[in-house]
Structure 1
Amino acid sequence: MRIAVVDAKRCKPKRCSLECVKYCPKVRTGAEAVVVNDKAVISEELCVGCGICVKKCPFKAISIVNLPEKLEGREVHRYGVNGFVLYNLPIPKKGYVVGLLGANGTGKSTAVKILSGQLKPNLGKEEASWEEIFDRFAGTELLDYLKALADGNVRTAVKPQYIEAIPKVYKGKAIDLLKKADELGIADELIQKLDLENSIKRDVSELSGGELQRLAIAACLAKDADFYFLDEITSYLDIYQRTTAAKVIREKAEEKPVLIVEHDIAILDMLADFVHISYGEPGVYGVITNPKGVRVGINQYLRGYLPEENVRIRDKPIEFEVFQPREGESEKILLEYPSFRKSYPGFTLYAEGGDIKNGEVLGVVGANATGKSTFVKVLAGVIEDDEKKIKLDLKVSYKPQYVKADVSVPVGTFLRGINPAVDSSYYRTEFLKPLGIENLLDRNLDDLSGGELQRVAIIACLLRDADLYLLDEPSAHLDVEQRTEVARLIRRFALNMEKSVLVVDHDIYLIDMISDRLLVFEGEPGRKGVARKPRGMREGMNLFLSNLGITFRRDEETKRPRVNKLGSRLDREQKAKGEYYYYF
């Protein structure tokens, strides 16, 4: 079974004279070249899989993939001729939280759109009737659900993936947006549980990413629906807020089925009862597995092999080091900074004096609104501290928390303007290929998705010639595999180039994999923040987790971090010993 996918955004047949078609063996034997809506169309029936068109396409718009024969006839939806195709769907279960875990571009959001009634499945054809859809899912758990969906007897509530778009579509106060969505009369309860008291009176355009995320979760859960779908609930939330949001969602699942799409495995492990894995080739096809127990499913995903399906989804497993915590080996100090203060109306950051070592990765953790981004901006020279103490005599490269495309230029042109050597074999092997940037070089910045733009911003930051590299929340909108590649890239960059890197992030997996030392922020969110001096991983994580009241352990099989359930035997035992971080 063979599928051909042509990326409509990249395919420009008028500019290349259909080189892909001219060199195709089937064309030479009489097949006609076809162009539909300014896109080359490849006949999957005639295609022999020689790969010539893939190599000849100057815009890298074509993918030819051989699929297992068992997938034939199981298409759920296809986006037009030679478009992305999705196989199978996740199954919402009453009384449970079902998780959907997988790489970006493998159909997770498409599955949510179908199950929420936003998109009618076409079974891989131009159009499919509901009778054909019912025949396709006959004998499955989804049949009754799809029949109710077709009859309009299912009400769904959806929290979108990209909450940054909310201010663009809604103008006004946050409280008005929430009251408008509040069909169950639980707005006040959700405001309290999600700690939105200080945010709800402000205009939506003034809210931070974390505030927008919690507002979107509250608006979704306040609707009177039969099924709730939440797409990426953890972006911009700190660990405490992620845990709180998980508790609120868990309470909703006791009443109604909930399906979540999430890349934070620690939260998914804590929140979900079952998990579906989506795999495939991003942008080409995606396959959703049958439900698995959450621990088993996550471990299979990390290993990269699905035994029940007999499918290997990754060349190598995602591994976690056993011997934690890790201490920085370098003792050479890149810079020492004095204690400083930065004040805003209603908020003050106080930073203890500290140092950053040469060639180390310094992780930064803490609750939202305690001044982490302010601290980074002071070091980056974007803003000044109150007494103008911080004047670093070195070059700094800075990736801000929120990235956006300010110019409409191709990614390749943008990166070459930063460092012309980006086309060298070293940078392509070490930087572009691991993060999948090679396939984006001909795309314009303003055409990229949030995850694509994030990866480009990370590469742009590391390409600059600097002494200190500051990355604020590099994991936002990235899937698990992309986060792992980012972690590996940053570690190799710091070690091989002997550069110092400071990373602010809320993904405990990312911080755990890359950090030599930890800088912990404490304080009262929104009012005051205290940046403690950098310290070793065990001391720093114990300080941070004790403030949150959370303990971590390692999974026996994969050695990945796992959040202990509150009040469990391990949780009580570790707290009694003061070992919040990997008690052995």
Structure 2
Amino acid sequence: MEKFRIAVVDRDRCKPQKCSRECEKYCPVVRSGAEAVVIEDKAVISEELCVGCGICVKKCPFKAISIVGLPHELEGKEVHRYGKNGFVLYNLPIPRKGHVVGLLGPNGTGKTTAVKILSGQIKPNLGKDEADWEEIFERFAGTELLDYLKSLVDGIRTSVKPQYIEAIPRVYKGKAKDLLSKADEIGKIDEMVEKLSLKNSIERDVRHLSGGELQRLAIAACLLRDADFYFLDEVTSYLDIYQRISVAKVIREKAEEKPVLIVEHDLAILDMLADYVHLSYGTPAVYGVITNAKGVRVGINQYLRGYLPDENIRIRDKPIEFEVFQPREGELERTVLEYPPFRKTLNGFTLEAAGGEIKQSEVLGIVGPNATGKSTFVKILAGVLEDDEGKIERDEELKTSYKPQYIKTESDMTVASFLTKINPMVNTSYYKTEFLKPLRIEELMDRNLKDLSGGELQRVAIVACLLRDADLYLLDEPSAHLDVEQRTETARIIRRFALNTKKSIFVVDHDIYLIDMISDRLIVFEGEPGKKGISSSPLSMRDGMNRFLSNLEITFRRDEETKRPRVNKIDSRLDREQKSKGEFYYYF
């Protein structure tokens, strides 16, 4: 297929004052007298003169340069570009009245940029320094987007739930109730607070809210505005599965009145919520392409297979596969840790944990509502906290490695220095193959920890946890801020690590797909959030998932094509059939 060439220079990574400028020195075009690469304060590459030799890419010590060949069909169809040699986006999703439209794709391929354009936060420049609206209208003439863009210029109102809700306490000071009161333009604040279970949060200062409370607050504020279109960027981060389903129902109700577009990585929620889905693909931080709308099941399955038939494009070297494996309870080896029933009281909250054990090579999944003590449970097992009666005795020979739920750092240390300090063997072929390459850590090695995004920091924290020499590993919400591919790779890495090294792993997470992919057994948490939590002893996957899903009142089935789990539509024939048999978890 004929290609045209784009050059992308990462402005943050390019540091001409710290390198020998070999990208400019060795470029054959520059050496012949033409200025294909020019270094001023940052490198600038002429895409017209670039011959695609790749020398500058290989010579750059900071991996700041990417040269990519794209099909000629995309040439001239740029929607937005972030400056000379910056990230470029092709195509846009289309909001549809009366429907929820989903946007699914890897991090860094333009999903948030698309939301910003459609919500009027940024004006598309068509890949140039600037474009006027007449040029933009001409570009989209004959498409469904033309009328939408014209209405955007005419002043339609949009409401946006941003991707990173952690910034809310920095830009708003005061009680959550006051924030919602300012946002409420439709007079439904009490109804929204009830549906999103915010009663215990609205009288508190925004600074003191948890991640899950901030997320629901941001969703409520977005949906309380009187807008013509609603855009929600990553609605499930920090939410437990109960809250995710409540949020999905509220968004579904809003879509009956006004168009809604959501960006989401939780396939279970996207599958249950969206009517149509656009896929984004490309090279993260280099370019992104957004496809035409597809039916949600067809779109998700094409994304997982990595091949888009309508576009005749392969977006991934290999498909994302959901393996159907039999539980290994009978095959598990010796007990690594046995813990008695224990109790923990903390700031008015009480956790009552049943006793249990974890075997060698086993992955124990932990599920349940937020604020029922899951993080407290793993902190006690990790030795970060002590139970009330000191029943959990510390075996000095049992070494543990713990990845906390919330990851924050202001360290100037580079990722390479940080990981090397944990395990000097990190740069060997084994660790590169098993950890660094699958989670794309190699491209982060020269970056400072404090400069990483939430998803990048999460990937580094997962690898750091598994690099430590320990017998027992505890990971609290490893899927947070990760896209679908990264979650799948994380699941594969954790399971392979447990099997190959005979290590034992506890994993707390709200992504049912991830828990289903990696767990041998399950611990189910129940209780009254914020007041009392009760944990089960480890259960078989069937017993544990049946108990968990029955509390949620949802049922699972497997997709015939990809074998991925799917949530049955509530009150559908299959949903009623499985509930009547008490089989909430899929059966064969």
TM-score range, shorter chain: over 0.9
Check conservation: 1:552, 1:580, Cα contact below 8 A. yes
In structure 1, what residue type is equivalent to 2:76? G
Matched residue, 2:335? 333
Using the alignment, how far apart are the partners of 2:113 and 2:21 within structure 1? 30
Q: Distance in 2 between matches of 1:516 and 1:168?
A: 41
Give distance in 2, aligned partners of 1:395 and 1:371: 23
What secondary structure sits across from 2:270 in the alignment? helix
Deviation at 1:413, TM superposition (A): 0.9
Trace 1:301-316 onto structure 2 (pairs within 5 A). 301-316=303-318
Shift of 1:228: 0.4
- Output the CA distance in 2 between the equivalents of 1:553 and 1:428: 36
Aligned with 2:536 (options 527, 532, 537): 532
- Corresponding residue to 2:72 among 65, 69, 89: 69
Shift of 1:326: 5.3
Correspondence 1:458-497 to 2 at 5 A: 458-497=462-501
Which of residues 28, 31, 34 is equivalent to 1:28? Answer: 31
Instruction: Say if 1:98 and 1:274, in contact at 8 Å, map to a contact too.
Output: yes
- Indicate yes or no: 2:457 matched with 1:444: no
Aligned counterpart, 1:177: 179
1:523-552, Cα deviation, whole Å (9 max, x unpaired) = 111111111100111111011111111111
Question: What CA deviation, in whole Å up to 9, does each residue of 1:150-185 have, x standing for no partner?
Answer: 23x211111111111211221211111111111111
Correspondence for 1:453 among 429, 445, 457: 457
Query: What corresponds to 1:559 in structure 2?
Result: 563
Deviation for aligned residue 1:20: 0.5
Q: 2:10 aligns with which of 1, 7, 27?
A: 7
Matching residue's letter, 1:192? E
Letter in 1 for 2:584: Y
Superposed counterparts of 1:312-327, under 5 Å: 312-323=314-325, 325=327, 327=329
Match 2:548 to one of 544, 547, 554: 544
Aligned residue identity for 2:568: N
Name the aligned partner's letter for residue 242 of structure 1: R
2:231 to 229, 239, 242: 229
Q: Describe the shift of the 1:250–1:324 C-alpha distance in structure 2 as closer, same or farther (beyond 3 A).
A: farther
Give me the whole-angstrom Cα distance separating, in 2, the residues matched to 1:34 and 1:548: 58
CA drift of 1:322 comes to: 2.7
How many residues end up aligned between the 2 structures? 583
Distance 1:445 1:198 in 2: 35
Q: How does 1:262-281 map to 2 (within 5 A)?
A: 262-281=264-283
The residue that corresponds to 2:168 in the other structure is: 166
Deviation track 1:230-283 (CA, whole Å, cap 9, x = no partner) reads: 001111111111111000000000110000000001100100000000000111
The separation in 1 between residues aligned to 2:228 and 2:468, in whole angstroms, is 50
- Out of 106, 123, 132, the residue aligned to residue 103 of structure 1 is 106
Cα distance, 1:36 vs structure 2: 6.4
Out of 510, 515, 535, the residue aligned to residue 506 of structure 1 is 510
Q: Partner residue of 1:570?
A: 574
Q: Where does residue 389 of structure 2 map in the other structure?
A: 387
Show CA shifts across 1:488-513 (max 9, x none): 11011111111111100010110011
Residue aligning to 2:296 = 294
User: How many angstroms does 1:321 deviate by?
Assistant: 1.8
| 1:19 correspondence with 2:22 | yes
Query: Among residues 49, 53, 65, which one is paired with 1:50 in the alignment?
Result: 53
- C-alpha distance in 1 between matches for 2:239 and 2:292: 30
Structure 1: stretches of 5+ with no match in the other structure: none
CA distance in 2, matches of 1:208, 1:430: 33
- Asked whether the 8 Å contact 2:212–2:237 carries over to 1, the reply is yes
**Residue deviations 1:434-476, cap 9 Å, x none?**
0000000011111111100100111111111111111000000
User: How far off is 1:146 after superposition?
Assistant: 0.7
Residue 95 of structure 2 aligns to a residue whose secondary structure is: coil
SS in 2 for 1:518: strand
Report the Cα distance in structure 2 between the residues aligned to 1:365 and 1:119, rounded to whole angstroms: 40
1:323 Cα offset (Å): 4.1
RMSD: 1.1
Shift of 1:13: 1.0
Give the deviation of 1:346 after TM superposition: 2.8
Q: Are the aligned partners of 2:29 and 2:36 in contact in 1 as well (CA < 8 Å)?
A: no
Aligned positions of 1:108-147 closer than 5 A? 108-147=111-150
Change (3 A) 1:130 1:287: same
TM-score (norm 2): 0.98
In 2, are the aligned partners of 1:18 and 1:40 still within 8 Å (CA)?
A: no
CA distance in 1, matches of 2:519, 2:139: 49
Which one-letter code corresponds to 1:374 in the other structure?
T
Residue number among 393, 408, 411 corresponding to 2:412 in the alignment: 408
User: Could you tell me how far 1:211 is from its partner in structure 2?
Assistant: 1.0
Distance across 2 between alignment mates of 1:38 and 1:482: 34
Unaligned runs of 5+ residues in structure 2 are none
Task: Tell me if the contact between 2:37 and 2:46 (Cα under 8 Å) persists in the aligned partners.
Answer: no
TM-score by length of 1: 0.98
Q: Distance in 2 between matches of 1:311 and 1:562?
A: 25
TM superposition shift of 1:572:
1.1
* Contact 1:157/1:229 (<8 A) preserved: yes
CA–CA distance in structure 1, aligned partners of residues 115 and 291 of structure 2: 15
CA contact (8 A) 1:542 1:579 kept: yes
Report the alpha carbon displacement of residue 424 of structure 1 after superposing the two structures with TM: 1.1
SS at match of 1:67: strand
Q: Which amino acid aligns with 1:258?
A: V
Matched AA of 2:110: G
8 Å CA contact 2:23–2:37 kept in 1: the answer is no
